[in-house]
Amino acid sequence: MKHHLKLLSLTLISVLFLTCGGSKTEFETSPTSGKTAVANNGMVVTAHPEATKVGMDILKQGGNAVDAMVGVHFALAVVYPSAGNLGGGGFMMYRKNDGELFSLDFREKAPGNAYEDMYLDENGDVIPGESLYGQKASGVPGSVDGMLKAHEKFGSLPLATLIEPSIKLAKKGFRITSKQARNYNYFKDDFIKNNRNPKKVTLIKEGQWEEGDLLVQKDLAETLERIKQNGRSGFYQGKTAELIVAEMNAGNGIITLEDLENYNSAWRTPITGNFRGYKVYSMAPSSSGGIALVQLLKLSEHFPLSEYGSKTAKTVHLMTEMERRVYADRAEHLGDSDFWDVPVKALLDDDYIAERVAQIDPSKATDSGEVRAMELDNIVEGEETTHYSIVDNMGNAISLTTTINSAYGSKVFVEGAGFLMNNEMDDFSAKPGVPNVYGLLGGAANSIQPEKRMLSAMTPTIIEKDGQLFMVVGTPGGSTIITSVYQTILNVIDHGMTMSEAVSEKRVHHQWKPDWISIEKGAFDDAVRAELEAMGHVIKERSSIGRVDAILVRPDGSLEGAADPRGDDWAMGIE
Ligand code: DON
């Protein structure tokens, strides 16, 4: 494992020297910088070295974790446009060093003119692609509101100081990595197809992008400048808002000026749970992440997984059986709690969890067709997303996941404003029984209604041990987000891995329907596969799962930052 990591780091050093533009030392691997970083006085882990550096510089200037979060968020909108965003939304989990927890839901909302059947044709069938591509796929963006609201409450440095580095990166440009070059080339046709004026789209280049090319985004710099000058109204009103609405009207989009003005992010009470003596805090609806994660952990407590080992047939079988039940509940019961009565207590109830455990046969796969969601009578009460983790030198911690949904969202750039709009409307259930792009099912709980938030799987999570900060963790990956966070936690708590080992470890995933286990290549050997197949499991190999960026507080109090080797992700700490 260690050797494997070292090799990866070495490859990355050479790649980043060539591609990241800065001085040779800027993204050099050292004990406090790289895929793994260990430090005592602060840590930032994000999907891109340039964004990590922005966050780190803010911490070094005396900013707190929330300041660094705001800086990183705007920086990712510039240097990681596939998921970093102004035109999307997300979830923030914040633990102050005194142990108080706050979570902010800045998920997009359905526009005021949205309606339940808006993606169905006259026969009631889902119109392929309409919730994924083009202007109509977008919800009302929440990121800017979320960042400014969090900054207003907790920030210590002026907003201008936090946005300025991103303006510079947009105006002067930054050097793209080889992965980005490949990605921009891959999506070129989609960008051309979905934009009126491909010449104005900065991600389209005549010829091919290459590693080390400079990406300059002048319109985006101006949009950021307007936010810096005018705060919220620099985005939700005035020129930026007008450009968004003009973009909507140029296609079949339905977001209005009123929708933008009315957008508001919402403080939520985190979902909490205990797992083997650790306390877990994660995201409440409109994300399903917290409830599903805590269900999985509570189910797992019924089994001695550490004794069974991390990738044995026994453990993978049990995880799969738990996951299929949790995702069945998700499809039936979870949706935006401002619109739907989510039975949180009932879903996390100890007796209900025990009931679910009793349904699991230790040696045989259940057919997902036979797995039902919790009966309402039991109810006691009414690649692309990105995650970053930050801890400052006072011990304040941020876990934040944000997205425009699939890679490059709706593929529509707001002309003149230089940023991509989300295609988050696809996260609603367009029609009961018809899966979304991640194969997820849903029904009334997650149907489209004006101003409702579409159900998310994002799972920004913070864990405490003995009342002290222990882990900050999260990931992108659509439906696999929940199971990737779950496995990363198990890897550390049950299987004794370091943070980096836990993040690098191959992942497996099951989501009830479709009824198969998705695995990363090499997740387990042929013997384990054969054993699982003999129990009745179907196994399918797929491309990489998740990009976990996490921080662990080690027993000596030092911070171990772990950046996922699957991407350009980078960790930096203050010694
Ligand atoms: O909110 C959600 O669950 C999805 N829109 C997340 C999409 C995602 O993670 C794509 N990334 N790889």
Residue 421, pLDDT above cutoff 50: yes
pLDDT tens per residue, range 151-199: 999 999 999 999 999 999 999 999 999 999 999 999 999 999 999 999 9
- Tell which one of 403, 422, 454 to mutate to probe ligand 1, the residue whose CB is within 8 A of the most ligand atoms: 403
**Average pLDDT, stretch 207-220?**
97
CA of residue 427 to ligand 1 center, whole Å: 8
Residue 29 among the catalytic residues: no
Strands, E assignment, 245-361: 266-268, 271-275, 278-282
Burial class (CB in 10 A: 0-12, 13-18, 19+), 26: middle
Q: 385 CB under 6 A from ligand 1? A: yes
CA of residue 424 to ligand 1 center, whole Å: 8
Burial class (CB in 10 A: 0-12, 13-18, 19+), 207: exposed
Q: Which residues, in sequence order, are bridge partners of residue 278?
A: 275, 465
Domain annotation for the chain: domains and CATH numbers: 270-362+458-559 (1.10.246.130)
Q: 427 CB under 6 A from ligand 1? A: yes
Q: What 8-state DSSP symbol labels residue 455?
A: P
Residue 23, pLDDT above cutoff 50: no
- Tell which one of 80, 446, 481 to mutate to probe ligand 1, the residue whose CB is within 8 A of the most ligand atoms: 481
- Tell which one of 80, 385, 422, 484 to mutate to probe ligand 1, the residue whose CB is within 8 A of the most ligand atoms: 385
pLDDT band at 403 (very low <50, low <70, confident <90, very high): very high
User: Dihedral through CA 387, CA 146, CA 43, CA 300, nearest 10?
Assistant: -50
Q: 67 CB under 6 A from ligand 1? A: no
Please give the pLDDT value at position 384. 83
Q: Look at ligand 1, atom 8, and give the residue with the nearest C-alpha.
A: 478
Please give the pLDDT value at position 376. 61
Q: Look at ligand 1, atom 4, and give the residue with the nearest C-alpha.
A: 478
Q: Are 365 and 320 in contact (CB under 8 A)?
A: yes
Q: Are 288 and 478 in contact (CB under 8 A)?
A: no
The residue type of 304 is P
Q: Is the dihedral of CA 571, 471, 282, 152 positive or negative?
A: negative
Question: Percentage of the chain surpassing pLDDT 90?
Answer: 93
**Average pLDDT, stretch 124-144?**
97
Residue 3, pLDDT above cutoff 50: no
pLDDT tens per residue, range 297-340: 999 999 999 999 999 999 999 999 999 999 999 999 999 999 99
Q: 482 CB under 6 A from ligand 1? A: no
Please give the pLDDT value at position 209. 98
CA–CA dist 327, 356 (Å, integer): 13
Exactly one of 223, 315, 385, 401 is catalytic; name it.
385
Q: Which residues, in sequence order, are bridge partners of residue 267?
A: 104
pLDDT tens per residue, range 338-367: 999 999 999 999 999 999 999 999 999 999
Give Cβ neighbours of residue 398 (< 8 Å, ≥ 6 apart).
Answer: 65, 66, 68, 69, 92, 93, 94, 388, 389, 390, 391, 472
Q: Is the dihedral of CA 547, 553, 555, 558 positive or negative?
A: positive
CA of residue 458 to ligand 1 center, whole Å: 7
Residue 129, by phi and psi: left (phi above 0), alpha (psi -120 to 50) or beta?
left
CA–CA dist 292, 175 (Å, integer): 39
CA–CA dist 505, 522 (Å, integer): 10
Please give the pLDDT value at position 181. 97
**Average pLDDT, stretch 237-258?**
98
pLDDT band at 264 (very low <50, low <70, confident <90, very high): very high
Q: 457 CB under 6 A from ligand 1? A: yes
Q: What 8-state DSSP symbol labels residue 327?
A: H
Nearest alpha-carbon partner for 444 in 376, 510, 516: 376
pTM score = 0.94
Q: Which ligand 1 atom sits closest to the C-alpha of 405?
A: 5
Residue 500, pLDDT above cutoff 90: yes
Q: 403 CB under 6 A from ligand 1? A: yes
Q: Are 51 and 388 in contact (CB under 8 A)?
A: yes
CA of residue 478 to ligand 1 center, whole Å: 4
Mean pLDDT of the residues in the chain = 94
pLDDT tens per residue, range 440-493: 999 999 999 999 999 999 999 999 999 999 999 999 999 999 999 999 999 999
Q: 405 CB under 6 A from ligand 1? A: yes
Residue 12, pLDDT above cutoff 70: no
Q: 505 CB under 6 A from ligand 1? A: no
Q: What are phi and psi of 530, to 5 degrees?
A: -60, -40
CA of residue 270 to ligand 1 center, whole Å: 20
**Average pLDDT, stretch 96-104?**
98
CA of residue 386 to ligand 1 center, whole Å: 8
Q: What 8-state DSSP symbol labels residue 141?
A: P
299: its two tokens: 């189910």
CA–CA dist 31, 78 (Å, integer): 27
CA–CA dist 509, 319 (Å, integer): 9
Residue 224, pLDDT above cutoff 60: yes
Please give the pLDDT value at position 27. 87
pLDDT tens per residue, range 46-82: 999 999 999 999 999 999 999 999 999 999 999 999 9
- Tell which one of 82, 291, 438 to mutate to probe ligand 1, the residue whose CB is within 8 A of the most ligand atoms: 438
CA of residue 481 to ligand 1 center, whole Å: 8
Q: Look at ligand 1, atom 11, and give the residue with the nearest C-alpha.
A: 384
pLDDT tens per residue, range 540-564: 999 899 999 999 999 999 999 999 9
Residue 8, pLDDT above cutoff 80: no
Q: Which ligand 1 atom sits closest to the C-alpha of 546?
A: 12
Nearest alpha-carbon partner for 109 in 80, 137, 140, 85: 140
Q: Look at ligand 1, atom 5, and give the residue with the nearest C-alpha.
A: 405
Q: Are 316 and 519 in contact (CB under 8 A)?
A: no
285: its two tokens: 């609806």
CA of residue 23 to ligand 1 center, whole Å: 34
Q: Look at ligand 1, atom 2, and give the residue with the nearest C-alpha.
A: 456
Please give the pLDDT value at position 18. 33
Please give the pLDDT value at position 377. 54
- The more confidently predicted of residues 244 and 378 is 244
pLDDT tens per residue, range 508-541: 999 999 999 999 999 999 999 999 999 999 999 9
Q: Which ligand 1 atom sits closest to the C-alpha of 426?
A: 5
CA–CA dist 311, 329 (Å, integer): 25
CA of residue 477 to ligand 1 center, whole Å: 6
Residue 107, by phi and psi: left (phi above 0), alpha (psi -120 to 50) or beta?
beta
Q: 476 CB under 6 A from ligand 1? A: yes
pLDDT band at 86 (very low <50, low <70, confident <90, very high): very high
pLDDT band at 383 (very low <50, low <70, confident <90, very high): low
Q: 139 CB under 6 A from ligand 1? A: no
